[in-house]
Amino acid sequence: MRPRRGLDSSSVWAQRVRQLEQRLRTKEERIVVLETENAVLHLKLAETFPYILETVMNFSTSPVFFSLYQGLAGRCTSEVLQLYAAHGQQMKFQRSSAVTQLHVAIKRLKQDLKSLHSFALELSKDFQRQSKTCLYQVLAAVQGIQLQNEAMQMFQIKAFDLEQSLQEVTERYEKEKQKRKALHNSLIELRGNIRVHCRIRPLLPFDDAAGHSQDRQRSFSEKVAYAADDETILVKCSRPGHASVNKTFQFERVYNDLESQDAIFADVAPLLTSLLDGYNVCIMAYGQTGSGKTYTMLGPQLEGNLAFTTEEESELGIIPRATQEVFRLLSEKPPGSYWVEVSVVEVYNNEIFDLLAKDSCGKVFGIKRDVVTTREGKSDVPLLTHETVENASEFLHLVNKGLHLRVTHPTLVHAHSSRSHLVVTLNITTVVFGDNFGILWEDEQTSQRINKEASFTFTQKMRDNISTSSSRASSPVQLEATEKMKQVKTRLQLVDLAGSECVGMSGVTGAALRETSFINRSLSALADVLGAIAEQRAHIPYRNSKLTHLLQDSVGGDAKLLVMLCISPGQKYLTESMQSLGFGTRARQVQRGQVKKKNFPVPSKGK
């Protein structure tokens, strides 16, 4: 059988060799046994031979038997000699047969050895072939690795180049960002710190007044306010018995009744960039009841429920969107370098109610607070609840709670939510490193202002935090206090003002008269404040109403104020609409006055 390749065949051959060796050993043992027997016979013969010779010699001395024994001895001798020869021959024969067997075995062994040899030869050839193949493979792999190494080196060089260009781009981006900041703020300055946008809501079913004749009803629901273009609103009305009205008003932006909440917010968003650049910002909705202030600021509301009710993202108003945007902008800053605190208050009958205050059982209830002016000349509401929020949804949850209270709290019961001003405040504290602090601000004026405002140290903040009524684990007290760290505090105030109509003053009595009187007083105080700012009077009468006192820091100074005038388009509301447009026009004049007097920062060279 020709041994097969591989491990199986070699083990078969090894077994065969073992068998042959076994047989060889058996034969050798047999030869040894035969040789031993042979030697014993030789020994016996050698022992017997002298005795026979002596006997023969003795017999030979006896004359009687001499001749007999001589013959016998001769015969015996010849027989012994014959036997001896026969024994020799037998031994010879035995030896030769063993040798023959051995020869046969050796021959077989040789044959096996030969086939083993040829098998080994084949194996070695096979091994050579295989090792050659392996060698080629190894060589190919080595070459591949070399190529890969080269490619890797190329990639490393490329990655290094890319890293460098990324660094350059990042540096350029940072520079551009600074430039953008400067330009953005210059642009906002140029537009004026007080801007007025005007939104005309669509005609709605409730615009048809009940209880009037059909003709009257038709004319009441007739549209009198139109957006002539993006910046002009046209009020056109001719009523029998009244002087006809045909008047245009110019604002920074006018939205027609079809414009979406998205479009409104798109123009508000840049202000939030200013907020993160260190300016206080206030966005307020002004207009008569039913003109769309709450819709614009919060979104659509259910009857009697002032909380956020919309599931539709696209329907959300400025307050939820602004918060989302603020958190989006903040997320670009290093984590832990900022925190946001929220307060929700309602100004009703010239009283401030803290809508986030909790009683000893943790139940929210509206508690009265007061507004004061600090030694630094800032407005502050002592003991006002500030809740730290980490994202827009936490914020919405909190504001929702406050808004529910606005509706349900017994001390705050009033017929219509439009009888109170709602002020949602986001206080944003950003930690800035002292060394970088200067370069953040392109113009000297702002830089000085911010540095002045940020003159707190961390240790002070930590002290503040201990005394503040509410702060959560996310409060950055954990941050290391170093002398180089400074805090920048900015404030975003989002205001849903009470309805501006002065209707029915003469006929109204009791609580309604009181409400209306307080609303009128606070709104005219707001108009007075804007007027005083316009005239650059030394004294701005912020303290004439709790509303203006509360809004002081985000209305005056270099704070950015956006007034969103809300207009109902129906003829029924003509008087109120004209009054609102008059307020907006006066507010605009404020910024015109300021623009003339202000020196606008020019971005420094090379930036």
Which residues of the chain form contacts with ligand ADP (CB under 6 A)?
Answer: 201-202, 204, 287, 289-295, 300, 418, 499, 566
- Give CA–CA dist 130/136, Å, rounded: 10
Please say whether the beta carbons of 379 and 345 come within 8 A: no
Token pair belonging to 46: 């050698």
Q: Which is nearer to Mg ion, 317 or 476 (CB)?
A: 317
- Out of Mg ion, ligand ADP, none, which partner does residue 584 contact, by CB within 5 to 8 A per kind? none
- Selection from 299, 171, 134, 156 nearest residue 606 by Cα: 171
546 carries a ligand binding annotation: no
- Distance in Å, CB of 522 to ligand ADP, minimum: 16
Q: Is 418 in the site for Mg ion (CB under 5 A)?
A: yes
Residue number closest to Mg ion, CB atom = 294
Q: Which is nearer to ligand ADP, 287 or 556 (CB)?
A: 287
Please say whether the beta carbons of 555 and 561 come within 8 A: yes
- Selection from 374, 341, 428, 369 nearest residue 542 by Cα: 374
DSSP conformational letter for 504: T
- Give CA–CA dist 472/221, Å, rounded: 51
| Distance set, CA 150 to CA 32, 34, 157, 163, 505 (Å) | 74, 79, 10, 19, 88
- Out of Mg ion, ligand ADP, none, which partner does residue 264 contact, by CB within 5 to 8 A per kind? none
Q: Which is nearer to Mg ion, 355 or 428 (CB)?
A: 355
Residues 6 or more apart whose CB falls under 8 angstroms from that of 585 comprise 196, 249
Q: State which H helix or E strand residue 188 sits in.
A: helix 63-191
482 carries a ligand binding annotation: no
Q: Which is nearer to Mg ion, 394 or 501 (CB)?
A: 501
Q: Is 430 in the site for Mg ion (CB under 5 A)?
A: no
Residues 6 or more apart whose CB falls under 8 angstroms from that of 97 comprise none
E strands in 434-546: 485-496
Residue 213, SS3 per DSSP: coil
- Out of Mg ion, ligand ADP, none, which partner does residue 270 contact, by CB within 5 to 8 A per kind? none
- Distance in Å, CB of 497 to ligand ADP, minimum: 9
- Out of Mg ion, ligand ADP, none, which partner does residue 601 contact, by CB within 5 to 8 A per kind? none
- Distance in Å, CB of 498 to ligand ADP, minimum: 9
Beta bridge partners of 285: 496, 564
Token pair belonging to 127: 């091994």
- Distance in Å, CB of 357 to ligand ADP, minimum: 24
Q: Which is nearer to ligand ADP, 345 or 422 (CB)?
A: 422
Please say whether the beta carbons of 282 and 493 come within 8 A: yes
289 carries a ligand binding annotation: yes
- Out of ligand ADP, Mg ion, none, which partner does residue 295 contact, by CB within 5 to 8 A per kind? ligand ADP
Q: Which is nearer to Mg ion, 458 or 518 (CB)?
A: 518
- Out of ligand ADP, Mg ion, none, which partner does residue 317 contact, by CB within 5 to 8 A per kind? none
- Distance in Å, CB of 301 to ligand ADP, minimum: 6
- Distance in Å, CB of 201 to Mg ion, minimum: 12
- Give CA–CA dist 407/137, Å, rounded: 82
408 carries a ligand binding annotation: no
- Distance in Å, CB of 566 to ligand ADP, minimum: 6
- Selection from 514, 475, 519, 283 nearest residue 387 by Cα: 475
Beta bridge partners of 287: 566
DSSP conformational letter for 5: S
Q: Which is nearer to ligand ADP, 287 or 476 (CB)?
A: 287
Q: Which is nearer to ligand ADP, 294 or 388 (CB)?
A: 294
Q: Which is nearer to ligand ADP, 200 or 532 (CB)?
A: 200
Select the residue interacting with Mg ion from 294, 430, 500, 522 (CB under 5 A).
294
- Distance in Å, CB of 290 to ligand ADP, minimum: 5
Q: Which is nearer to Mg ion, 306 or 532 (CB)?
A: 306
Residue 59, SS3 per DSSP: helix
- Out of Mg ion, ligand ADP, none, which partner does residue 204 contact, by CB within 5 to 8 A per kind? ligand ADP
The b-or-e profile of 545-574 (16+ CB within 10 A means b, else e) is bbbbbbbbbbbbebbbbbbbbbbbbbbbbb
- Out of Mg ion, ligand ADP, none, which partner does residue 300 contact, by CB within 5 to 8 A per kind? ligand ADP
- Out of ligand ADP, Mg ion, none, which partner does residue 420 contact, by CB within 5 to 8 A per kind? none
287 carries a ligand binding annotation: yes
- Tallying the residues shown for the chain, one arrives at 607
Please say whether the beta carbons of 323 and 426 come within 8 A: yes
- Residue type at 262? D
- Distance in Å, CB of 254 to ligand ADP, minimum: 13
Residue number closest to ligand ADP, CB atom = 292
- Residue type at 150? E
Q: Is 291 in the site for Mg ion (CB under 5 A)?
A: no
557 carries a ligand binding annotation: no
- Distance in Å, CB of 496 to Mg ion, minimum: 6
- Give CA–CA dist 281/279, Å, rounded: 6
Name the binding residues for ATP: 287-294
- Return residues touching Mg ion (CB under 5 A): 293-294, 418
